[in-house]
Structure 1
Amino acid sequence: MAELETFPDLRPAGGVGHPTRAARIEHGEKVRRRIPFGAIAEHAPTSDRDPVGLLESQAASRVPDLVPIRYGRMADSPFAFYRGAALVMADDLAQAPTTGLYTQLCGDAHLSNFGLFATPERELAFDVNDFDETYPGPFEWDVKRLIASLAVAGRQNGFGGKQRKRIARACAAEYRETMTYQAARGELAVCYSHIDATAQLDELRDVLDSSTRKRVQKTIRKSWGRDSMQALSKLTTMQNGQPRIVSAPPLIAPIEEILSDTEAERINRELIQRLREYRDTLEPARRVLFDRFEYVQTARKVVGVGSVGTRAWIILLVGPGGDPLFLQAKEAGPSVLAGYLEGPSYTNQGERVVAGQRVTQAASDILLGWQQGPDVNGTVRDYYVRQLRDGKGSAVIETMSADLMALYGRLCARVLAFAHARAGDRFAIAGYLGSDDDFDRALTEFAESYADQNARDHAALLEAIDDGRITAQRES
């Protein structure tokens, strides 16, 4: 288990004051001399490494009927496998030396876990948007997962070795340069740092060709259209003058179809009480808003790749004027990082997700909260709750050109550095990274090495499916 690098006590006699910026930077430089870039870029798999076994260990707590869908989605491609293999990579990262320079990690910082969402100020921001695995840890674990995802996705898109290395180095350089920039700024400026998607497009107007610019503009327009009204039109039908969630099993299943009439009636009553408990985790002003909505119906919805099999529900509420609010309640188990890192314990893993998201994002969903309660079998489960759709949008990685992926990777690295600077010691991290490109080159080599490993792991999954070790359900 990796250990936290405790910052030396550099306070003046009497214990008053904080370590200076210069002292923190010097500390990072000392860590670099002790743990050089080549050390954190090592990938030396153990002889007993079993990626399929790690995936199977996660299946024990998931909905049995949905686990084959998870395997089927991961089998689609090496990049799909990578998206679902956060635990596998965490196990690998724990085998290499770490800097011990902790921050709040995303925990699963691959390319597809960044995207667009609407801020409370009704601007469209680009940021990390998945925090299921968030946990305190060494900053480089997030950076390594991000840069390796570029190498994996680049191979899938048919990019050559030189193109992939150029993309990966640009990502590493962006992270390093952004962290250095943040280390020179004040605390409030660091807190407010964010990427405004519309403004960023204007800045890149001369960099993007016309067709790429149009695709990006289309993504932004589409994101703005993804709200509860749009969800109402796509996910519901009217019955007796009231909206009801459509049935599309196994991906969408109203609870009335999963449970008996008696159980469904009981669960609906219980859900109303549990929504009141969730309400108490919101800021007081948001509770006033939430109180204006009335519960209508809940359905199970399969989401993501790695998340398939965890319990995820969509909850439909309606305001007095008939306007809808769709919430998503997603099961939160312990972070995949928790077994490898020293960190806090939580009585509710949903609170862990919410706390991690709030400390790292520039702006978070106004209805982000958490809840805990028993399932139909009496097992207590933790959930975090957020709006299902509120300007949310994501890039289509599989159709990106090399130039666009390089640009996208840089944007991801920038907001990742923003998040790490908010939550960790940006001065020590900047001191560790230094001002030359040695870090960039080391992480680029790691990315290619790990893409090789991921390809072998994907092949192992396919072999396990062919051998009957696991059952996979492919979707049409």
Structure 2
Amino acid sequence: MPRPALRDLVVDIEEPGRDFARGKAQRKVTPRRELAQLTPSTHSATEILVAQNATRLPELVPLRFARMLTNPFAFYRGSAAVMAADLAAGRSSGIRALCCGDAHVSNFGIYAAPDRALVFDLNDFDEAAAAPAEWDLKRLVTSAIVAGQHEQYPPKAIRRIAERAVSAYRVGLDTMLGMPVLDRYYLRLEPERYRERLYKSSAAVLDRTLRRARKQTSSRVFGRIMTRGPDGTPRLRENPPVLQHIDIDAETSLVESLTEYLDGVSPDVAMVLSHYQITDIALRVVGVGSVGTRCYLAILTGPTGEPLILQAKEASRSVLDEFGRVRQPSVLRDAIAAHGEGARVVIGQRILQASSDVFLGTIRHDGRDFYVRQFHDMKGTVELEGMPPKVFGEYVISCALSLARAHAQSANASMLRGYVGNNDTVINAIVEWSYAYAEKSLDDFHRLRAAAKAGDIDVADDPAR
């Protein structure tokens, strides 16, 4: 019987032994040590970033560059497209998984699961797509190096963190694939359960992050960004260009598009949303790499005035597809054709994340694709600035284990396990490549700064800083 198209994305449990052997055989096609070779794209980082800006709001592009030029780590965070192009130019394992596409250390964090437990996991899926699995791992390890250098950690500490991250990923992958499929599927990292195993300083960071996460609710955001009009109606408190109203025609059109979203959510979520009405809509600037994409906040209020804030964020082609040139499996191509790039993001989040937002959905608006989610639902970002090296190392290991759990859902997980093996060959190769890429990323940062100084790109003052 032919396997369904969905096999491209879900766990393959039919012949794990054969797939393990196929993974080992793949070493002859791409020897593991060749994963250390960095072959940059023929296009410069500045060229790629300028090309990526072509479909973005032109008035916000200078702000994107301003945020990326804050420091080398901010540049790295915003240059996923550059890294995808560089990865595509070099050697790869050829073993594809459903990847996050932007698995740097700041794209992991704490959020509330539907049962309101606080979970640690990947939390950004804008670039989710199929790609060689080690691309995610290289993005994670390089980010640890770049962040560690930015924090001026001792070189030996940075290398130890990088090596332990790859080792933790390998051990995590072995552990996940040794579990029953449903156990692996339900597995999630609830940090409060592991607090006593952490260093004292790590536990303190966790406690602060959990406290902040619990405060990040629609009610709190509502209080910060809304004010009361003369008639008592809640109205957005503008802070352009970071947060501002859109014109009435655009707002009306967006409200109409949201009916498509309601048609796609589950009946219970649709019933919940039926108790709310849209009070206001705003355009909001988000992130570093996402600046210039269209992102709207829909402020809803319930029968007693309680707020619910939904975010509709523009979804463009994944950088793994557009710049990494990875042909996507038919199940993703079909979903994109039917529901837009937002469907790719939603599929990626639901598969890669241990427990996802019940409000996830998609819309198409004004010829563009969007995905919808609840905004700031107890989302806690781990503050990396000023973090001691030992604490940062524990954090990176947690990221690596979460990434292993995410990749273990893919069809080729057993094949990947066979390719990686149990010795240090892959560890050494990934770390060597990541150090080389950290150097390239720093050079790209300086070249972008030179382009700004020469007037080749426009850079705005960042009102958020």
Q: TM-score, normalised by structure 1?
A: 0.91
Tell me how far apart the structure 1 counterparts of residues 184 and 39 of structure 2 sit (CA, whole Å).
36
Q: Does structure 1 residue 449 correspond to structure 2 residue 436?
A: yes
What's the offset of the Cα at 1:440?
Answer: 1.4
Conserved 8 A contact 2:254-2:365: no
Q: Does structure 1 residue 225 correspond to structure 2 residue 212?
A: no
2:386 to 386, 399, 407: 399
The corresponding residue for 1:324 is: 307
Cα deviation code 1:67-115 (max 9, x no counterpart)? 0000000001110000000000000000111112111110111011111
Tell me how far apart the structure 1 counterparts of residues 78 and 277 of structure 2 sit (CA, whole Å).
35
Q: Does structure 1 residue 385 correspond to structure 2 residue 372?
A: yes
Q: Does structure 1 residue 349 correspond to structure 2 residue 334?
A: no
The corresponding residue for 2:244 is: 253
Tell me how far apart the structure 1 counterparts of residues 425 and 402 of structure 2 sit (CA, whole Å).
21
The corresponding residue for 2:423 is: 436
Any idea what SS the aligned residue of 2:299 has? strand
The corresponding residue for 1:469 is: 456
Any idea what SS the aligned residue of 2:405 has? helix
Q: Does structure 1 residue 371 correspond to structure 2 residue 363?
A: yes
Q: For residues 38-437 of structure 1, what are the structure 2 equivalents within 5 Å?
A: 38-46=33-41, 48-204=42-198, 208-209=199-200, 211-239=201-229, 240-255=231-246, 259=247, 264=248, 266-339=249-322, 340-343=325-328, 344-345=332-333, 346-347=336-337, 348-374=340-366, 380-437=367-424
- Aligned letter for 1:27? R
Tell me how far apart the structure 2 counterparts of residues 49 and 161 of structure 1 sit (CA, whole Å).
30
- Aligned letter for 1:252? L
Cα deviation code 1:19-45 (max 9, x no counterpart)? 522211111111123312221221022
What's the offset of the Cα at 1:425?
Answer: 2.4
Tell me how far apart the structure 1 counterparts of residues 24 and 455 of structure 2 sit (CA, whole Å).
51
The corresponding residue for 2:24 is: 29
Tell me how far apart the structure 2 counterparts of residues 356 and 387 of structure 1 sit (CA, whole Å).
16
- Aligned letter for 1:362? A
Cα deviation code 1:335-359 (max 9, x no counterpart)? 1111310114212011111011111
Conserved 8 A contact 2:84-2:319: yes
Tell me how far apart the structure 2 counterparts of residues 163 and 37 of structure 1 sit (CA, whole Å).
25
Any idea what SS the aligned residue of 1:363 has? coil
Tell me the percent identity.
36
Tell me how far apart the structure 1 counterparts of residues 410 and 114 of structure 2 sit (CA, whole Å).
21
The corresponding residue for 2:446 is: 459
Tell me how far apart the structure 2 counterparts of residues 158 and 387 of structure 1 sit (CA, whole Å).
36
The corresponding residue for 2:3 is: none
More helix by share: 2
- Aligned letter for 1:285? D
- What 5-or-longer segments of structure 2 have no aligned partner? 1-6
Conserved 8 A contact 2:39-2:87: no
- Aligned letter for 1:341? V
Aligned residues: 443
Any idea what SS the aligned residue of 2:320 has? coil
Runs of 4+ deviating beyond 4 Å: none
What's the offset of the Cα at 1:305?
Answer: 0.2
What's the offset of the Cα at 1:234?
Answer: 0.9
Any idea what SS the aligned residue of 1:398 has? coil
Tell me how far apart the structure 1 counterparts of residues 318 and 94 of structure 2 sit (CA, whole Å).
18
Cα deviation code 1:301-331 (max 9, x no counterpart)? 1010000000011110001111000011100
- Aligned letter for 1:333? S
Any idea what SS the aligned residue of 1:330 has? strand
Tell me how far apart the structure 1 counterparts of residues 197 and 232 of structure 2 sit (CA, whole Å).
48
Tell me how far apart the structure 2 counterparts of residues 236 and 254 of structure 1 sit (CA, whole Å).
12
Tell me how far apart the structure 1 counterparts of residues 166 and 320 of structure 2 sit (CA, whole Å).
22
Tell me how far apart the structure 1 counterparts of residues 44 and 13 of structure 2 sit (CA, whole Å).
45
Tell me how far apart the structure 2 counterparts of residues 424 and 220 of structure 1 sit (CA, whole Å).
34
Q: TM-score, normalised by structure 2?
A: 0.93
Moved more, 88-97 or 392-401: 392-401
Tell me how far apart the structure 2 counterparts of residues 220 and 131 of structure 1 sit (CA, whole Å).
22
Tell me how far apart the structure 1 counterparts of residues 13 and 171 of structure 2 sit (CA, whole Å).
25
Conserved 8 A contact 2:40-2:90: no
- Aligned letter for 2:208? K
Conserved 8 A contact 1:178-1:414: yes
What's the offset of the Cα at 1:285?
Answer: 1.3
- Aligned letter for 2:358? I
- Aligned letter for 2:455? G
Cα deviation code 1:340-392 (max 9, x no counterpart)? 10114212011111011111111110101010021xxxxx0110010111110
Tell me how far apart the structure 2 counterparts of residues 267 and 89 of structure 1 sit (CA, whole Å).
35
Moved more, 320-329 or 191-200: 191-200
What's the offset of the Cα at 1:427?
Answer: 1.4
Moved more, 78-87 or 230-239: 230-239
Tell me how far apart the structure 2 counterparts of residues 161 and 33 of structure 1 sit (CA, whole Å).
34
Tell me how far apart the structure 1 counterparts of residues 108 and 264 of structure 2 sit (CA, whole Å).
25
Conserved 8 A contact 1:368-1:387: yes
Tell me how far apart the structure 2 counterparts of residues 122 and 31 of structure 1 sit (CA, whole Å).
43
Conserved 8 A contact 2:35-2:426: no
Conserved 8 A contact 1:246-1:254: no
Conserved 8 A contact 1:39-1:96: no
Conserved 8 A contact 1:148-1:448: yes
